[in-house]
Structure 1
Amino acid sequence: MILRTSVTALALAVGMAVFGNAQGMAIKDADLTQWQSKVPAPVNQPYPYGTMRLQVDTTDTTRRIFKVRQEIPVRAGPLTLLYPKWLPGNHAPNGPINKVAGIRFRAGNQTLQWKRDPYDVYAFHLEVPQGVTNITAEFEYLSPSAREQGRITATQDMLNLQWNAVALYPAGYYVRQIPVQASVKYPQGFTAATALSSSSKDADNTVRYETVPLDTLIDSPVYAGRYFKSWDLDPGSKTPVRLNVVADAPEQLEMPDEALRAHRALVTQAYKAFGSHHYDHYEFLLSLSDQMGGNGLEHHRSSENGHDPDHFTNWKGSFVGRDLLAHEFAHSWDGKFRRGADLTTPDYNTPMGNTLLWVYEGQTQFWGNVLAARSGLVSQDQAKDAAAIVVSTYADERPGFGWRSIADTTFDPIINKRSPQANTGYQLSEDYYRGGQMVWLAVHAKIAELTGERKGIDEFARAFFGVDSGSWDVRPYTFEDVVATLNSVAPFDWATFLRERIDGTRSPADGIIANGWRLAYRDKPNDYQKAALGESKTANFALSLGMNIASADGRINSVLWDGPAFNAGLGIGQTLLAVNGMAYTKDRLETAVRAKQPIRLVVRNGEVVRDVTIDYRGGLRYPVLERIPGTPDRLSALLAPR
């Protein structure tokens, strides 16, 4: 049996040895095996004992409890069962094991004792008695009942079932080699959508799904709801693409014709960009809710998405964030079919490597915005206004590039687990997304320049992601593969070009200039920014005073490192009480900034109230893109439909 050694345990052992020597108690030939995790490493061989059966009862939506029963074929002897830890698309070891309770194992009527691995808390050890060929595992998954517990995944009217939350699996095997047959009992009146194919449905609304490898099951989540509607986004195709929507109320499911045309155009434009598809069918799963938590998570044949309840009914005004479905759809090619080699792990408990997330997420962020514009989900002007915000972020609001690189931020999902930070602009935070987007914008411009405008990033996408159309086996890649494909499109020193932007501490904002546009500033936000600020309920003074404020109560949400507010001693969590002798309001602060004179504030920090003066005289500044005369307009060409 191959053992997976715990790095933490090894460090502990070494530390004890050093401590012992310091006290004159030398430890010779320390037995490190006592600090080893006894979890078998995965081997690429079929699971030899049969098909697992997983039954989930989701009917207790009032208390938001999922009841799980799992039958696992086994042989007598030691057995280790794993709960998924490293989740695809999460880029971090954050499997929700803290929400699992009531774990019980049985062999027939015999209760089996279990013990959690002390160095891998996602692993459970048991001893299977002689003559036993099948054991039953039962537990409850206590999904969050309040937002502070995590994302809400079940309400009275809808639910999101993620299989990784409700499944165990035997250690020692690649997950693609473990067959599983799942069934779900849904609340009466609920309709479910998933990439899985169902084999039967009972009168009690229990749906049985086809037997699939465990990795396919985990990659095929479910959205189900009382108010449900589905649209065919590629009519007549032999490879269906459907938009499946659950909502808080039935009237929220009324999608205008304009919106349906844009969603159908998204499929068309994606096929033109990538020149392929990598699924047998694709299911957009979308919730329109202010009760179930929003989401954006990619899968090979589906995606989990969330928008506000008025997403369709306020179609003219709900354009902010409308690139979500485009982003997650692009992931079917970038991240699922083509995946960084160090992210392509054999099971869900082997650590993943994030070093290529600037391709996985950065290029998908790029394509999400491009495809949203090409399909008409947003207008070209809206796409440019959104791009102006990103460009200004990297031109003005990321002093952290003085010490960190985009490449180093690929570790942030592990380091920070997506929790709030004190100074995002200085610490940086998963900048492989939008910083990566800017890098790929620069790549597009360079390809166009090298080829006399005959080619662009579409040619790279078809060469890199467009191979083996119809196949949905994972094709891993390395940095060298990316460089080789770029060279096949337009010969150049791409390795240096990319490394300077990914590994260096330079801002990636220069790509916009190469595309024929430059960053400028106005004293009023554009329509896109107004809508974004309204949704976030934020008063944005980031490019003037260097801080953002909660519109309603004056609480400071963010402060730009080394900006005017920062240098005046203001920080996150402090509250503005007064502006130039008058009670704080957003409008009064805007008026004071427009005056281009030092601003007197009264600020509360805990129980301390003090006077603060910000000597800023630059007026209000909001970003906008403007054309550079006499240069190719590569950005408009990029955003135009194919």
Structure 2
Amino acid sequence: MKKIVLFAAVAFCTFTALAQNPNKFRNSLYYAVSFPNAAHHEAEVMLTIPEAPTGAFRIRMSRSSPGRYATHEFGKNVYNVKATDVDGKPLPVKQVEGDVYEVGDHPDIVKISYTLFGNHTDGTYVGIDQSHAHLNMPASFMWVADKSIANRTIKFEFNDLDKYGWKVATQLKHEGDNVYSAPNMQYMMDSPTELSNVKTNTWEVVNTNGKKQKVGIAVHSDDDQATVDNFAKLVQKVVLEEKAVFGEQPDYDYGSYTFLDDVHPNNFGDGMEHRNSTCIVDRSEKIAGNEKDLLGTYSHEFFHSWNVERIRPKSLEPFNFEHANMSSELWFAEGFTQYYGELVLARAGINAVDDYAGTISGLVNSVLVPPAPQKYSQTQMSRYAVFTDAGVAVDATNYTNIITSYYVYGGATALALDLRLRSEFKITLDDYMRQVWLAHGKPEKPYTIPDLQAVLARVTNPKFAASFFNDYIYGVKKNNYEALLANAGLLMQKAAPGKGWMGRVQGRPVNGGLLITGSTASNAPVYKAGLDADDVILKLNGNDIKDVAALTIAIKDKKPGDKVTVNYKNRTGSHEAIIILEESPVIEVVIYEKAGKTLTQQQKDFRSNWLSSKVK
């Protein structure tokens, strides 16, 4: 198979000439993309549609993007939309919705041109300047909203590469020179493309079936090649550890998988999985000195090449680009990936056990401390992704009390299931994930939650599987993390025992006090005392409160059960209330050695079997 890796584009005249005679591409759709005004974050796009649909048809921008579960208004950054025939004669086109245009009477071949603006480099949007064009496809390219051409081949011509010194990094198939293709729209939309002076490093991985595949990184950053090469060695460790979880790699299309990475302080940090690549965006100055932070995203996103890209929820099939698909399975798709993304770094020796204990603390706190997981199931939190996954709201929300991220909620459940499988059945979560892979991922048969339960029943027994799903997936029961972690010599304890706690307050200084800017948590003393967003705290126990830090200082010597007086005001006037302090529910997880406890041999063996490398 042809590899799709990265190359220095040398010329684009070939495809430009062919664009003048589109019949040579038969009925392929093709885009010519140029950057005459990159300094001002603009691209010019020309879409040629041979054998256009008969009658009036619509073209549109997407409102959702693969790997993102909330809707986004990509149409706002597209303008100067025009339609012409092949000779440039204008055709009737009108905007019928914010992101939808209708082409009227037309010949067989239609050309659509528009200006694309992009100045938000992340895993969803577009970033264009003279250093690069960071193209997430749904945010970049209009498409024909007609089922008759949904499965046509799509060609891309990326122009101005020599002008800016850019190379092309993408999972699109390289056709020659600066021409790339996708077999259909679904694949095209799943193929982020980075045009920049990327530095690359590729290596070969032999799959279990003997097939050789290329894996590589393409990095746009201010690092030198030696830094990129050294970083690639760490990425290789992650790749092999994750392959060991499933026993094999997927058969990547065109025999290649690429990590696309853009690193710069002006970015908006993100990671977004795709079928044969991942788009990673980091806000660091450069890779050098930040390797561990970056590897967490690499590890998470690469695990998605199994879990989500091929072990795929039925609720995400087919992906709808006109609005967000709602899924009840994100606790598994994202949450179990969250768990493995961090676990693999420990197995690869990148993070020490002590560091990993801190990660576990975060997972356990996410389900034991906030109000939401005490009331709402993982399936409900997964469905809320249509509002929370980088979704934008201008009005206030009560997310503090009704939302817990399905990433950490599912990650904490994966942790508990792994430890329970090890202690109760002498198998591991790896064994379960392999069986899910064989049943649904490898044959690419989309799953439902009952399917996941059925696989767990096969590796354990039906009674355990039914109880686990009823209690922890559909229900809100919590696992006994303290006992489970003790099996591996990890101690779970209160983070601030004997200290008075009033709850977290988000706020900003205003004249005369501290304005509470976000909802207070319903299980916190400050909420129970009646304070919430838009109240202005003036004094606490007689101390003037000018900022959030002053709250901490005012109760630093207080104990659980102590009462403090708060003076505050709101639109109804001035008020005084009593806050009864409690002990913080926040816990910490530490290794026995750090807590001065002695590990038994059984605990040493358990920990080693769990956290040691699985690469043979």
| TM bracket, shorter-chain basis | 0.7 to 0.9
After superposition, the C-alpha distances for 1:418-448 in whole angstroms (9 at most, x for unaligned) are 347644331114x322111122222223322
Give the conservation status (yes or no) of the 8 Å contact 1:64–1:143: yes
How far, CA to CA, are the matches of 1:54 and 1:307 in structure 2?
A: 29
How far, CA to CA, are the matches of 1:468 and 1:145 in structure 2?
A: 36
Give the conservation status (yes or no) of the 8 Å contact 1:160–1:223: yes
SS of equivalent to 2:501: coil
After superposition, the C-alpha distances for 1:269-304 in whole angstroms (9 at most, x for unaligned) are 011011222212111111211112222111011111
**TM-score (structure 2 length as normaliser):** 0.78
Match of 2:56 among 69, 78, 92: 78
Superposed displacement of residue 95, structure 1: 5.0
Match of 1:406 among 378, 387, 393: 378
Match of 2:448 among 469, 478, 487: 478
- In structure 1, the residue matched to 2:581 is 616
Superposed displacement of residue 308, structure 1: 2.9
Cα pair distance change 1:314/1:256, threshold 3 Å: farther
**TM-score (structure 1 length as normaliser):** 0.75
Cα pair distance change 1:593/1:126, threshold 3 Å: same
- In structure 2, the residue matched to 1:302 is 277
Whether 1:221 aligns to 2:192 is yes
Cα pair distance change 1:463/1:151, threshold 3 Å: same
After superposition, the C-alpha distances for 1:564-617 in whole angstroms (9 at most, x for unaligned) are 222344445667777763675776654443301655667687999987764426
Superposed displacement of residue 347, structure 1: 5.3
Match of 2:522 among 561, 569, 585: 561
Match of 1:66 among 34, 40, 43: 43
Count of residue pairs the alignment pairs up:
555
Cα pair distance change 1:496/1:555, threshold 3 Å: same
- In structure 2, the residue matched to 1:56 is 33
Give the conservation status (yes or no) of the 8 Å contact 1:155–1:292: no
How far, CA to CA, are the matches of 2:509 and 2:352 in structure 1?
A: 30
How far, CA to CA, are the matches of 2:436 and 2:31 in structure 1?
A: 37
Superposed displacement of residue 124, structure 1: 3.5
- In structure 1, the residue matched to 2:10 is none
After superposition, the C-alpha distances for 1:249-271 in whole angstroms (9 at most, x for unaligned) are 346983584x5443211011011
Give the conservation status (yes or no) of the 8 Å contact 2:369–2:585: no
Which amino acid letter does the alignment assign opposite residue 62 of structure 1? A
Which amino acid letter does the alignment assign opposite residue 348 of structure 2? S
Which amino acid letter does the alignment assign opposite residue 155 of structure 2? Q
- In structure 2, the residue matched to 1:366 is 339
- In structure 1, the residue matched to 2:14 is none
How far, CA to CA, are the matches of 2:435 and 2:585 in structure 1?
A: 45
Cα pair distance change 1:155/1:485, threshold 3 Å: same
What are the equivalent positions in structure 2 for 1:500-515 lying under 5 Å apart?
A: 500-506=471-477, 508=478, 510-511=480-481, 513-515=483-485
SS of equivalent to 2:128: coil
Whether 1:446 aligns to 2:387 is no
- In structure 2, the residue matched to 1:338 is 311
Whether 1:354 aligns to 2:315 is no
- In structure 2, the residue matched to 1:387 is 360
Cα pair distance change 1:393/1:353, threshold 3 Å: closer
Give the conservation status (yes or no) of the 8 Å contact 1:233–1:267: no
How far, CA to CA, are the matches of 1:239 and 1:462 in structure 2?
A: 20
- In structure 1, the residue matched to 2:501 is 544
SS of equivalent to 2:453: helix
Which amino acid letter does the alignment assign opposite residue 140 of structure 1? T
How far, CA to CA, are the matches of 1:557 and 1:368 in structure 2?
A: 33
Match of 1:189 among 151, 161, 165: 165
How far, CA to CA, are the matches of 2:276 and 2:367 in structure 1?
A: 34
Match of 2:180 among 209, 232, 235: 209
How far, CA to CA, are the matches of 1:383 and 1:78 in structure 2?
A: 58
After superposition, the C-alpha distances for 1:109-138 in whole angstroms (9 at most, x for unaligned) are 4322234556xx654333343xx2210011
Superposed displacement of residue 511, structure 1: 4.8
Superposed displacement of residue 383, structure 1: 1.9
SS of equivalent to 1:110: coil
SS of equivalent to 1:89: coil
Whether 1:595 aligns to 2:557 is yes
Cα pair distance change 1:134/1:520, threshold 3 Å: same
Give the conservation status (yes or no) of the 8 Å contact 2:306–2:437: yes
How far, CA to CA, are the matches of 2:591 and 2:149 in structure 1?
A: 51
Bigger mean CA deviation after superposition, 575-584 or 388-397? 575-584
SS of equivalent to 1:433: helix
Superposed displacement of residue 168, structure 1: 3.1
Superposed displacement of residue 212, structure 1: 3.0
Give the conservation status (yes or no) of the 8 Å contact 2:515–2:536: yes
Give the conservation status (yes or no) of the 8 Å contact 1:441–1:512: no
Superposed displacement of residue 618, structure 1: 4.0
Which amino acid letter does the alignment assign opposite residue 249 of structure 2? H
SS of equivalent to 1:355: coil
How far, CA to CA, are the matches of 1:380 and 1:503 in structure 2?
A: 32
After superposition, the C-alpha distances for 1:23-69 in whole angstroms (9 at most, x for unaligned) are xxxxxxxxxxxxxxxxxxxxxxxxx9710011122453321112111
Give the conservation status (yes or no) of the 8 Å contact 2:78–2:114: yes
Cα pair distance change 1:269/1:622, threshold 3 Å: same
Give the conservation status (yes or no) of the 8 Å contact 1:275–1:466: no
Give the conservation status (yes or no) of the 8 Å contact 1:581–1:600: no
What are the equivalent positions in structure 2 for 1:277-296 lying under 5 Å apart?
A: 277-278=249-250, 279=252, 280-296=255-271
Give the conservation status (yes or no) of the 8 Å contact 2:440–2:446: no
List alignment gaps of at least 5 residues for structure 1.
1-47, 202-206, 525-540
Superposed displacement of residue 211, structure 1: 4.9
Give the conservation status (yes or no) of the 8 Å contact 1:438–1:509: no
Match of 2:457 among 458, 467, 487: 487
Bigger mean CA deviation after superposition, 609-618 or 409-418? 609-618
SS of equivalent to 1:487: helix
How far, CA to CA, are the matches of 1:604 and 1:191 in structure 2?
A: 59
Cα pair distance change 1:468/1:495, threshold 3 Å: closer
After superposition, the C-alpha distances for 1:307-356 in whole angstroms (9 at most, x for unaligned) are 232453324xx745742111111111111112111211165337624122
How far, CA to CA, are the matches of 2:263 and 2:557 in structure 1?
A: 43
Cα pair distance change 1:262/1:504, threshold 3 Å: same
CA RMSD of aligned residues (A): 3.8
Cα pair distance change 1:322/1:585, threshold 3 Å: farther
Give the conservation status (yes or no) of the 8 Å contact 2:172–2:188: yes
Superposed displacement of residue 623, structure 1: 2.6
Cα pair distance change 1:99/1:422, threshold 3 Å: same
SS of equivalent to 1:547: coil
SS of equivalent to 1:139: strand
How far, CA to CA, are the matches of 1:389 and 1:409 in structure 2?
A: 18
Give the conservation status (yes or no) of the 8 Å contact 1:303–1:329: yes
- In structure 2, the residue matched to 1:638 is 610
SS of equivalent to 2:237: helix
Give the conservation status (yes or no) of the 8 Å contact 2:94–2:103: yes
After superposition, the C-alpha distances for 1:227-264 in whole angstroms (9 at most, x for unaligned) are x32223557883111121112x346983584x544321
- In structure 1, the residue matched to 2:89 is 110
Which amino acid letter does the alignment assign opposite residue 223 of structure 1? E
